[in-house]
Amino acid sequence: MLSVSHLTCQRGERVLFRDLSFALPASQWLQVAGSNGAGKTSLLRILAGLSEPAEGQVTWKGRRLREDRAAFHADLLYLGHQGALKEELTPLENLTLGLGMEGFSPGEEAAAEALGRFGLQGREQLPTRYLSAGQRRRVLLCRLMLRPAPLWILDEPFTALDVHAVGVLSRLIERHLASGGSAVLTSHQAMPLPPGLSVTL
């Protein structure tokens, strides 16, 4: 379970949010809402342990993130704004090499199957620079199928997706929640998911 107490985030001289506390139990998801520049991404980065809050603390399974970074990161799947995709590599290489560095080796067949489910069959061997923004986004989302992790932190997962991909993604998230996982998502619009918790910045 992820819990956050008295979190304050400061960027330069501006305070983005102050004294933020919440807890996210298993099988639940949390929507982080707020206008542009309200600090949604900053909050996600703090939750993921990428940056330190000015005040307050984040705990996972009752332990502070800093205490055991490796254990927390083994439980965490984070998808940020940026793609983390290499334009010169094919989608297949991007997936297998990226996951390889995280210590997972799903195998090419599993990776190809995941790409297929997001409608990318036939494009596995094409350099990623020939893919559209939405297709790149889908390559990234394949990680959700290939790397098991109880906690998902996804920044704007539904942007740039077509109806079919939105359907696949929401089914993935539902299944993740049903199997005891939890998720933190940011979004501007309403999400095609069963009702969850929400925080507005």
Residues forming the site for other proteins (CB under 8 A): 12-13, 48-52, 70-71, 73-74, 76, 78, 80-86, 88-89, 93, 97-98, 100-103
Q: Determine what percent of the chain falls in helix, strand and coil, rounding each to the nearest 5.
A: 35, 25, 40
Radius of gyration of the chain (CA): 17
* Contacts by 94-103, CB closer than 8 A, 24 or more apart: 94/128, 94/139, 95/139, 95/142, 95/143, 95/146, 98/143, 99/143, 99/146, 99/147, 102/147
User: Smallest gap, in angstroms, from Cβ of residue 29 to other proteins?
Assistant: 20
User: Between residues 150 and 196, which has the closer beta carbon with respect to other proteins?
Assistant: 150
- Tracing tokens 């992820």 back to the chain, one arrives at 2
User: Smallest gap, in angstroms, from Cβ of residue 73 to other proteins?
Assistant: 4
User: Smallest gap, in angstroms, from Cβ of residue 50 to other proteins?
Assistant: 6
User: Between residues 49 and 196, which has the closer beta carbon with respect to other proteins?
Assistant: 49
User: Between residues 32 and 196, which has the closer beta carbon with respect to other proteins?
Assistant: 32
Give the torsion through C-alpha atoms of 163, 112, 84, 4, to 10 deg: 70
User: Between residues 100 and 194, which has the closer beta carbon with respect to other proteins?
Assistant: 100
For residues 191 and 169, give the distance between their C-alpha atoms in angstroms, rounded to a whole number. 11
User: Smallest gap, in angstroms, from Cβ of residue 180 to other proteins?
Assistant: 19
User: Between residues 81 and 164, which has the closer beta carbon with respect to other proteins?
Assistant: 81
User: Smallest gap, in angstroms, from Cβ of residue 94 to other proteins?
Assistant: 10
User: Between residues 30 and 77, which has the closer beta carbon with respect to other proteins?
Assistant: 77
- Nearest CA to 193 out of 138, 160, 154 is that of 154
User: Smallest gap, in angstroms, from Cβ of residue 90 to other proteins?
Assistant: 10
Q: Which distant-in-sequence residues (6+ apart) come within 8 Å of 1 by Cβ? A: 23, 24, 25, 26, 60, 61, 62, 182
